[in-house]
Structures are given as C-alpha cells and as structure tokens.
Amino acid sequence: MGEPIRVLVTGAAGQIAYSLLYSIAKGDVFGKEQPLILVLLDITPMMTVLEGVVMELQDCALPLLREVIPTDKEEVAFKDLDIAILVGSMPRREGMERKDLLKANVKIFKSQGAALDKYAKKTVKVVVVGNPANTNCLIASKSAPSIPKENFSCLTRLDHNRAKSQIALKLGVTSNDVKNVIIWGNHSSTQYPDVNHAKVNVKGKEVGVYEAIKDDSWLKGDFILTVQQRGAAVIKARKLSSAMSAAKAICDHVRDIWFGTPAGEFVSMGVISDGNSYGVPEDLLYSFPVVIKDKTWKFVEGLPINDFSREKMDLTAKELTEEKETAVEFLSSA
C-alpha cells in the first residue's frame, strides 16, 4: 500500500455526504489498495453533528481509512489536498430569488477557491456538487488562479445516470447496456439530455438508441422532461433532495477522473468550455461529453449536432452566460 491521499468533503454533516463518505472510505472510488485521509469540513454550528459522523466512520472499522479530520477551518480543510469534493453550498430556501442564492454561493466558493489556491496541492482535482454547481465551480476556479482550470469540474453525472437509466427502463435492459448518453450545459432544468449518439446493447447487438426505441416523440419530449425535472420529482416524493443517487454519481465521476473512462465510452461532466468545437462560448463551465485518461479529460470531438440539439445547447449556454454575469458582478464585491 502506498502513501495515503488526502480527500476533502465539504458539507460533511449533510445528507449527501452521509451517503458518500462510506463509499469513499471503503475503497469504491480510489480502489481497494489506496489508503486515505478524509478531511471533513462544515460550518461551526454543524460540528456536533459532524462528531457523530466521525464516530460512525470509526465504527465502520475500515482498513483503508488512516485518519478522519473534522474541521470548520478552511486552512485545515484545504491543506495539501489531492481531491476536493465541494458538496456544501447555500441551499435555496422558500421565497428566495435565484439571484440571492447566487450571491450567497459566490461568497462561499470565492473563499474556498482562495483556500485551494493557498493551501492545496497544485495538482488537486476539484469537483463541485453544491448548486448552482456550474457557476459555483467557475467562481472557485477563478478564485484559484494558480490551479489549472482543467482541474475543476462539476457534477452532471447524476443527470447522465438518470438519462441512462430512463433509456434502460424503457427498453427493459440494464443500465450497463446503455452507453454514451450526453448531458449538455447547465445542471439545471435547461440541461439537454442528448441520446443522438447513445448506443444500447439489445440481445447482443449494439444499436443506436433512436433505432432501438422507435419513438421519437418520447425521446424528444417526455424523456428530456423526466431527466430535467427528476430532482424536483424526488424532492416532491421524499421531501428531501436526492442523496443516495447523488452520492453514487459523485463516486462515478471521481472514479473516472482517477482511473479513466472505459474504451469506447464517454461520460458527461461540467468542465471549462475553452477550446470546444461545439460553438459553446468560451469561459463557461458547461457539461460536455468527455473521455478521461491519465487523470486528464478531453472533449469528445466531431459529433454531428442537428438543429433540435443546437437549439437546446444554445438555450442552456444562454442561461449559464447570464448566471456567470450575475456571479462575476457579485465576485468583485464579495
């Protein structure tokens, strides 16, 4: 066994973290040979709750978990990190304008970006989960100029997994039989779940999803809406936001960064748009199809984009541009 890696999870006393920490600590993400130190950051009022989480992690008696460090101090949390998973953010409260939500989060992610810049390894991989995830991720990156922009990504894997699963359910196959769905754009209800390039294994034969499903109006209508609004549907049913599925998606996302994507498959993640060939404006944190090798992602190039897709891709880019403009205004005053 090698040296332990340092992994930070923020919002560590919250419900997504509660589903996530066990999977990381038992080796589902970085492999069964990789020891780790878990650093858990949350706000001061949550420290007592966090102590309970630490007790439970100790009680799991996990061989890979070398140390657990609970803290409410950024200088402790961000020191020498290999991976930062930023789950904590200001949640939207009832009656809260999106603008107010952005303002509160700009403050948090400016501060955490600066702490990454100051204390973390320059090779740190940063994954932003807390919403609005794309814009929070962009703000963190802009606040950490000494860390490469490419090291920052935000989670759209939950949307990706939701899309995959809807196709599998429709066809009566397992989600493993479906590959190369794409989530374009923002992790919001303007995201565009695209299956024009997706393949499905039906009775041992790989076919395009449109060909397999033979129901274009469902694929262009209810399928897209279901994926876009799935988070809200879970909240309506459970009175709590998706935690189990979010934690699973975070594990998938980070594991793919660490070990790479399987041959012939691509995944969706929010990354910096600079240099893309899909007409998405530069300097946006936008979800694209990517392949990953040696801990480095690359855009999947050369996918033909039809008019239906173009319109949806532009719409979500427009929303992200507006969010960014509002956030950057707040950034100068935060």
**Do 160 and 139 sit in the same domain of this protein?**
no
Residue 334 confidence class, pLDDT cut points 50, 70, 90: low
Structural tokens at position 205? 């034969």
Point out the domain boundary residue: 154, 175, 209: 154
pLDDT tens digits, 43-70 = 999 999 999 999 999 999 999 999 999 9
Range 8-12 average pLDDT: 98
**How does the average pLDDT of the chain come out, rounded?**
96
Catalytic residue status for 187:
yes
- Give yes or no for a cis peptide into 262 (omega within 30° of 0): no
Q: Cα separation of 193 and 313, whole Å?
A: 10
Point out the domain boundary residue: 138, 154, 170: 154
Q: What is the CATH number of the domain that holds 293?
A: 3.90.110.10
| Domain interval for residue 165 | 156-321
Point out the domain boundary residue: 154, 180, 208: 154
Q: Is 105 annotated as a binding residue?
A: yes
pLDDT tens digits, 139-148 = 999 999 999 9
Under a CB-based contact definition with an 8 Å cutoff, are residues 88 and 130 in contact? Answer: yes
pLDDT of residue 108 exceeding 70: yes
Which of 160, 187, 197, 253 is an active site residue?
187
Range 116-124 average pLDDT: 98
pLDDT at position 194: 98
Residue 98 confidence class, pLDDT cut points 50, 70, 90: confident
Q: How many domains does the chain have?
A: 2
Range 131-154 average pLDDT: 97
**Do 144 and 178 sit in the same domain of this protein?**
no
Q: Is 98 annotated as a binding residue?
A: yes
**Do 88 and 197 sit in the same domain of this protein?**
no
Whether pTM exceeds 0.85: yes
Q: Cα separation of 286 and 70, whole Å?
A: 32
Q: Is 100 annotated as a binding residue?
A: no
